[in-house]
Structure 1
Amino acid sequence: MAKTDWGNAPFTIINFDRNHLHIYVKGRDKWALGQLIGAGNRGCTPIENPAPRWSAYVFNLREIGVQIDTVHEPHGGDFSGLHGRYILRSRVLPGHVEVVR
């Protein structure tokens, strides 16, 4: 089994206002960003994409400027209630890319 590199990786974030920023992400935050990118407009939930601390990863990404929406959805079962669906709203490019406005 190949080992995954969870070290620092550069990304360019382009937000709604067309402002952009260059960030570095590593570890589980990098994993969560990859999950959000892969999910597209359907987003991710802790139920469909299990991980110990989704809310913390989303918090960390938001703190560095990534725009992520949270939609609250009901779920059934023995522990019914609400869960969050996280939807990436920023455009994310791998590497540090110069963006022309």
Structure 2
Amino acid sequence: MKRYMIRARVLPDGLPQTIIGRDAWALERLLAAGACGCTPIDEPAPRWSHYVFKLRHTHGLVIETVEEPHGGRFAGTHARYVLRSEVEILPADAEREAA
């Protein structure tokens, strides 16, 4: 089975990277959300905090965590993740084209 992946780089001069699985999905959701960011409430996924951790520490992305209150029966706070790095999505065969 082929794994879900995207090729991306941090602008202006980051090297191309392959991001796979849920990490790739999370990056796509962050890019689509823009300055509004994403929350686990709006974009349900089992481990948002871990996807963000890996995008930060493995792929070097700057992602801000904003704590927001929420009400309801189990009132508390949740995180909103906002991508602050400028990221370019590359074609899957970008390395072959550059060679």
Return the TM-score normalized by structure 1.
0.81
Alignment of 1:1-101 (within 5 A): 6-14=3-11, 18=12, 20-63=14-57, 64-95=59-90
**Structure 2 unmatched ranges of 5 or more:** none
The whole-number CA distance in structure 1 between the counterparts of 2:69 and 2:4 is 35
Relative distance call for 1:6 and 1:30 in structure 2 (3 A) is farther
Letter in 1 for 2:44: P
More helix by share: 2
CA positional deviation for 1:20: 2.3
Give the number of aligned pairs: 90
Relative distance call for 1:52 and 1:89 in structure 2 (3 A) is same
CA positional deviation for 1:8: 3.2
Return the TM-score normalized by structure 2.
0.82
**Structure 1 unmatched ranges of 5 or more:** none
CA positional deviation for 1:40: 0.2
Percent identity of paired positions between Structure 1 and Structure 2 = 49
CA positional deviation for 1:78: 1.1
Alpha-carbon deviations, 1:71-92, whole Å to 9, x = none? 0000001111010000000111
